[in-house]
Chains A and B, each alone.
Chain A
Amino acid sequence: MADLVIIGGGPAGMSAAIAAYKKGVRDILILERDGALGGILQQCIHNGFGLHKFGQELTGPEYALQYENQIKELGIRYKLNTMVLSITKDKVITATNGEDGIFKLRPKAIILAMGCRERSKGALNIGGTRPAGIYSAGTAQKLVNMEGYMPGKEVVILGSGDIGLIMARRMTLEGAKVKAVCELMPYSGGLARNIEQCLCDFDIPLKLSHTVVEIHGKERVSGVTIAKVDENKKPIIGTEEYIACDTLLLSVGLIPENELSIGASVSIDKITGGAAVDQDRQTDCAGIFACGNVLHVHDLVDFVSDEAEIAGQSAADYISGIKEENIHINVETDGKIRYTVPQKITKKKDVTVYFRVADVYRNVKICVYDGDTLLLAKKKVKVAPGEMESIKLSEDMLANCRKLQFKLEEVNA
Chain B
Amino acid sequence: MKRELTCIVCPIGCSLVAEIEDGKVVSVSGNTCPRGKAYAETECVAPKRTVTTTVRCIGGRILPVKTDRTIPKEKVFDAMKIINNLHPVLPISAGDIIMKDVFGSNIVAVKNMF
Give the residue name and chain of the B residue nearest to A149 (CB). B62
Q: Is the pair A45, B94 in contact by a Cβ cutoff of 8 Å?
A: no
Task: Give the distance in Å from the alpha carbon of A147 to the alpha carbon of B64 in the complex.
Answer: 11
- Determine which of B5, B6, B15, B110 lies in contact with A61 in the assembled complex, contact meaning CB atoms within 8 Å: B110
- Determine which of B8, B54, B73, B112 lies in contact with A193 in the assembled complex, contact meaning CB atoms within 8 Å: B8
Task: Give the distance in Å from the alpha carbon of A57 to the alpha carbon of B13 in the complex.
Answer: 14
- From 170 to 208 in chain A, residues with beta carbon under 8 angstroms from any chain B beta carbon are 170, 173-174, 191-193, 195-197, 201
Chain B residues with a Cβ under 8 A of chain A: 5-11, 13, 15, 49-54, 56, 60, 62, 64, 66, 73, 76-77, 80, 94, 110-112
- Determine which of B5, B52, B80 lies in contact with A46 in the assembled complex, contact meaning CB atoms within 8 Å: B52
Q: Is the pair B6, A45 in contact by a Cβ cutoff of 8 Å?
A: no
- Determine which of A47, A196, A300 lies in contact with B66 in the assembled complex, contact meaning CB atoms within 8 Å: A47
Please name all residues of chain B whose beta carbon is closer than 8 Å to the beta carbon of A193 when the two chains form the complex.
6-11, 13
Q: Is the pair A51, B94 in contact by a Cβ cutoff of 8 Å?
A: no
Please name all residues of chain A whose beta carbon is closer than 8 Å to the beta carbon of B53 when the two chains form the complex.
45, 170, 173-174
Please name all residues of chain A whose beta carbon is closer than 8 Å to the beta carbon of B94 when the two chains form the complex.
61-62, 65
Q: Is the pair B13, A61 in contact by a Cβ cutoff of 8 Å?
A: no
CB distance from B97 to the nearest CB of A (A): 15
Report if A191-B49 is in contact (Cβ < 8 Å); known contacts: A61-B110, A145-B62, A146-B62. Answer: no
- Residues of A in contact (CB 8 Å), total 28
Please name all residues of chain B whose beta carbon is closer than 8 Å to the beta carbon of A47 when the two chains form the complex.
50, 52, 66
A59 on the interface (CB 8 Å rule)? yes
Task: Give the distance in Å from the alpha carbon of A197 to the alpha carbon of B49 in the complex.
Answer: 9
Please name all residues of chain A whose beta carbon is closer than 8 Å to the beta carbon of B54 when the two chains form the complex.
45, 144-145, 148
Q: Is the pair A51, B10 in contact by a Cβ cutoff of 8 Å?
A: yes
Q: Is the pair B62, A147 in contact by a Cβ cutoff of 8 Å?
A: yes
Q: Is the pair A192, B6 in contact by a Cβ cutoff of 8 Å?
A: yes
Q: Is the pair B13, A59 in contact by a Cβ cutoff of 8 Å?
A: no
Please name all residues of chain B whose beta carbon is closer than 8 Å to the beta carbon of A170 when the two chains form the complex.
53
CB distance from A330 to the nearest CB of B (A): 31
Residues 45-75 of chain A, each 1 if its beta carbon lies under 8 Å from chain B, else 0: 1111001000001010110010000000000
7 contacts across the A-B interface (CB closer than 8 A): A59-B64, A65-B112, A145-B54, A148-B56, A193-B13, A197-B8, A300-B11
Please name all residues of chain B whose beta carbon is closer than 8 Å to the beta carbon of A174 when the two chains form the complex.
53, 80
Task: Give the distance in Å from the alpha carbon of A325 to the alpha carbon of B36 in the complex.
Answer: 45
Please name all residues of chain A whose beta carbon is closer than 8 Å to the beta carbon of B8 when the two chains form the complex.
193, 196-197
Q: Is the pair A59, B62 in contact by a Cβ cutoff of 8 Å?
A: no
Task: Give the distance in Å from the alpha carbon of A196 to the alpha carbon of B73 in the complex.
Answer: 13
Please name all residues of chain A whose beta carbon is closer than 8 Å to the beta carbon of B15 when the two chains form the complex.
192
Please name all residues of chain A whose beta carbon is closer than 8 Å to the beta carbon of B77 when the two chains form the complex.
173
